[in-house]
Structure 1
Amino acid sequence: MSAKIRKIVVQIDETLQEMGRPVSPSTRRAVAMAVIENPYAGQYSENLDELIAIGEELGALLGEKAVKALGIEPGQAQSYGKAAIVGESGELEHAAAILHPKLGAPLRTAVEKGAALVPSAKKRGSLGTAIDVPLGHKDAAFVRSHFDAVEARVSDAPRKGEILVAVAVTDSGRPLPRIGGLQASEIVGVDGLR
Structure 2
Amino acid sequence: MLKPDIRKIVTFEEEILVEGYKKADTPLRMFAVAAVLTNPWAGRYAEDLKPEIQAFAPVLGKLLTDKIVTLAGGADKIEAYGKAAVVGLNGEVEHASGLIHTLHFGNFYREALSASTYLAFTNIRGTANTPIMVPLMDKDDAGRRSHYLTIQFAIPDAPRDDEVVIVLGGATGGRPHHRIGDRYQDLQDLGHDLNNPAAV
- Which bracket does the TM-score occupy, shorter chain normalised? 0.7 to 0.9
Q: How does 1:27-42 map to 2 (within 5 A)?
A: 27-42=28-43
Equivalenced residue count is 182
Q: In structure 2, what is the equivalent of residue 189 of structure 1?
A: none
Structure 1, unpaired ranges of 5+: 184-194
Q: Aligned-pair RMSD on alpha carbons?
A: 1.8
Offset, 1:48:
1.0
Listed as ranges, the matches of 1:70-81 within 5 Å are 70-71=72-73, 73-81=74-82
Shift of 1:128: 0.7
TM-aligned CA deviation for residue 182 of structure 1 = 6.8
Distance (Å, rounded) in 2 between the aligned partners of 1:182 and 1:78: 18
Q: Give the structure 2 partner of residue 51 of structure 1.
A: 53
The alpha-carbon deviation at position 132 of structure 1 amounts to: 1.1
The aligned runs of 1:56-95 (5 Å cut-off) are 56-71=58-73, 73-95=74-96
Gaps of 5+ in 2: 185-200
Q: Percent identity?
A: 37
User: Do the aligned partners of residues 124 and 182 (structure 1) sit closer, same or farther apart at CA in structure 2, a change above 3 Å counting?
Assistant: closer
**Structure 1 runs (4+) greater than 6 angstroms displaced:** none
Q: Which letter maps to 2:108?
A: P
Partner of 1:152: 153
Give 1:53 deviation, angstroms: 3.1
Paired with 2:14 and 2:54, the residues of 1 have a C-alpha distance of 29
CA shift for structure 1 position 131: 2.1
Residue 64 of structure 1 and its aligned partner are, at CA, apart by: 2.0
Per-residue deviation at 1:39? 0.7
Match in the other structure for 1:170: 171
Residue of structure 2 equivalent to 1:108: 110
Secondary structure at 1:15's aligned position in 2?
strand
Distance in 2 between residues matched to 1:86 and 1:25, nearest whole Å: 36
Shift of 1:104: 1.1
Conserved 8 A contact 1:51-1:94: no
Deviation readout 1:51-87 (Å, 9 max, x if unpaired): 343222222211221221122x212310111111100
Q: Which moved more, 1:170-179 or 1:32-41?
A: 170-179
- The letter for the 1-side match of 2:107 is A
2: CA distance, partners of 1:56 / 1:151: 25
Paired amino acid for 2:137: G
> SS at the partner of 1:64?
helix
Rounded to whole Å, the distance in 2 between the matches of 1:64 and 1:25 is 25
Task: Give TM-score, length-normalised by structure 2.
Answer: 0.85
